[in-house]
Structure 1
């Protein structure tokens, strides 16, 4: 059996997603798209390390939803997934969150025309550990550079991350993604190094002075590291620290990584809780999230009803919801779940769902959001039957709102329901939920080919002899 050094089975076809994105006009910090021609000249098998591979290219995409859809589709691949990304990262002015700038992005429209980085992180967080590799060649704006150099790019330990991030330099010159070009040159020479060796060779051929070089062993610099000091994790190439490094706030580690889910089903291509911020235990924290409140405040929040002075703003219908709020309940709920207080977390989320149902209606986006939060909390509590039921209810609610069957949020809900159904070990319980899931899956086939057949085969195997 041919395997990569990570232990990924390379007999399954691989998928390579190549994205090169940068604004058109004065806001361009990198000339990204030409690197696609260099990567396209490489045999697809070299991009994925598998005998057979599918390659998808996105050159200077215009719309963040288009990029999200392509990433989400690629994330459903059963075999190894390699994401090669060239572009520029900037922070939006309001929430101060990193975004991948796209062709129509300007400083004033960043929040609406760029791809929020946490969307990308959350789509990959649910894949089985060791099956996903991200290779980046990025230029970071001044604010984004300080954040990335301090915290990294937010992919958890389940994703292997390699690449180079450089700070914005002389605006009179537009740099090119030389790191990825070096990777392509190595492959075109006939060499097929493993990802770690490829990274070392590409870094040796590329200008790296003052750059952030990322490897899976890279860790954020410790608080108090002297400005300009080079820090690294075990085996990492090294990181040039920024000129200014605010000390991390206690408990604000950017990523703990998505909790591995045993026996991931091939249809599970959806990301958990598409809300803003870092991914922790499979939940993505909300916009503007800072470290959570003290433990006593978390405990109190788990016992109390939601505040009566205003609910979180409604989710945006055109993408993952954004909920900046002075009294955002998500951090307290997440903290309770991570501490094992699953009943407290579920009760608080249910209280918010009831409140939003009263305020906006049972089928409102606000109420559906909290239904989906409850579904993911059930997953964290290892209650797959309950999680499956709640995800099916969320899918039904979205379809009742006349969201189309190919809407990404509808597909995500059905995919998650299907995945959680696959985790049910009680045959009788799985058979009980199967008819409803079968009906949903026929209506919402999703982007994973053969998902309905997978469901039918397992149901057949569960029937009594």
Structure 2
């Protein structure tokens, strides 16, 4: 237990009302609320923030962002259900008013959560999750996994949606809360294994996906104060590292250029926050570096991510920066010679083009036409 700082615990439990809900998410909150805050946070002093069945994703994002900016350790307890956006194939955490038809507007995108936590110092964030996934989401997670970001500890389980409209219970987190309330406080790895065994025996969810990621990476490098003349990277002020990074890429040192750009993106995330103009700036530089490296698929993904981030911060679909990001993603997708990768990225580009048609008429039709040819 850390004796020097105050930690924060964020308890987020939600499930749609009515037939769309298939987990009794908030039933675990009384048990967790009865646990001393210091146990929830792993620190001598702790602050607990509880969100029970929230309805607005922007409000939830604001609360997550506020918790993510606290300097001490942060533990996020996440209980609810996961859905897959069929247009962009993005995982969403359902809220109280989420329905399949309104998913993209009434649920919390998983990458919003990941984006806020990614900006925190590595090793200071823990996510403990008890989640149920719809059938298509379950298949997506089984294939691609469920990631939250480097340097973030992730424990929990994801189980498939129960059959015949049975409502599941968050037995994994209930088992953890019961252990804590008994006065026992084992290491989280041990507690996780105990809870998995107890929950599986109780509800029979033996095919659940167990999450146990406890990596403690080296801290991301901070901007150097004043490097020696032979070093490539310069401090953010007053010198600009971009010419040196682009010079490395143009000289064929693509891995070095990409690593340096990632380092500066990490600095921007820690300094200015996820979704900031500075962070997007470095994301777009990474996208262009991927183009220079001859990696159109990676470049396309990064440009689409930049466009999505700008849209999420309420920039207009006709904002030149948004249009430029989508146009560049489109161009890189056209450069793809791997049919499978083009098929994988195409639906997301179509969805993005639906929001940002661009300056030239027929762009979305062009993407759809190529997709039809690839399917054929």
Q: Match of 1:296, SS?
A: coil
Q: Judging changes above 3 Å, is the alpha-carbon distance between structure 1 residues 293 and 96 closer, same or farther for their aligned structure 2 residues?
A: farther
* Cross-structure match for 1:456: none
| Whole-angstrom distance in 1 between the partners of 2:284 and 2:84 | 18
- Residue 264 of structure 1, CA deviation: 7.3
Q: Match of 2:48, SS?
A: strand
- Residue 293 of structure 1, CA deviation: 7.3
| Whole-angstrom distance in 2 between the partners of 1:99 and 1:25 | 18
Q: Judging changes above 3 Å, is the alpha-carbon distance between structure 1 residues 271 and 138 closer, same or farther for their aligned structure 2 residues?
A: same
CA offsets 1:245-278 (integer angstroms, 9 cap, x no match) = xxxxxxxxxxx9x95779979984721469xxxx
Q: Counterparts of 1:211-360 in structure 2 under 5 Å?
A: 211-216=208-213, 268=271, 270-272=273-275, 283=283, 295-296=293-294, 298=296, 316=311, 319=314, 328-329=327-328
- Residue 55 of structure 1, CA deviation: 0.1
Q: Counterparts of 1:163-242 in structure 2 under 5 Å?
A: 163-207=156-200, 208-216=205-213
Q: Judging changes above 3 Å, is the alpha-carbon distance between structure 1 residues 167 and 266 closer, same or farther for their aligned structure 2 residues?
A: closer
Structure 2: 5+ residue runs without aligned partners?
216-258, 333-355, 360-376
CA offsets 1:279-314 (integer angstroms, 9 cap, x no match) = 9998499xxx9xx87943659x89xxx9xxxxx799
* Cross-structure match for 1:62: 55
* Higher percent of residues as helix: 2
CA offsets 1:36-72 (integer angstroms, 9 cap, x no match) = 1110011101101111000000000000001100000
8 A contact 1:30–1:174 mirrored in 2: yes
* Cross-structure match for 1:11: 4
- Residue 103 of structure 1, CA deviation: 0.6
- Residue 150 of structure 1, CA deviation: 2.1
Q: Match of 2:158, SS?
A: strand
Q: Judging changes above 3 Å, is the alpha-carbon distance between structure 1 residues 105 and 313 closer, same or farther for their aligned structure 2 residues?
A: closer
* Cross-structure match for 2:46: 53
Q: Match of 2:19, SS?
A: coil
1:37 maps to 2:30:
yes
- Residue 28 of structure 1, CA deviation: 0.4
Q: Judging changes above 3 Å, is the alpha-carbon distance between structure 1 residues 68 and 263 closer, same or farther for their aligned structure 2 residues?
A: closer
- Residue 20 of structure 1, CA deviation: 0.2
| Whole-angstrom distance in 2 between the partners of 1:153 and 1:53 | 28
8 A contact 1:77–1:266 mirrored in 2: no
| Whole-angstrom distance in 2 between the partners of 1:266 and 1:94 | 28
8 A contact 1:126–1:282 mirrored in 2: no
TM-score (norm 1): 0.51
| Whole-angstrom distance in 1 between the partners of 2:295 and 2:157 | 40
For the aligned residues, what is the CA RMSD?
A: 4.2
Q: Judging changes above 3 Å, is the alpha-carbon distance between structure 1 residues 313 and 153 closer, same or farther for their aligned structure 2 residues?
A: closer
Moved more, 89-98 or 67-76: 89-98
Q: Match of 1:109, SS?
A: helix
- Residue 327 of structure 1, CA deviation: 5.7
The equivalent position to 2:134 in structure 1, one of 141, 154, 157, is 141
Regions of 4+ moved over 4 Å: 258-269, 279-285, 292-295, 312-328, 330-333
1:97 maps to 2:97:
no
- Residue 330 of structure 1, CA deviation: 5.3
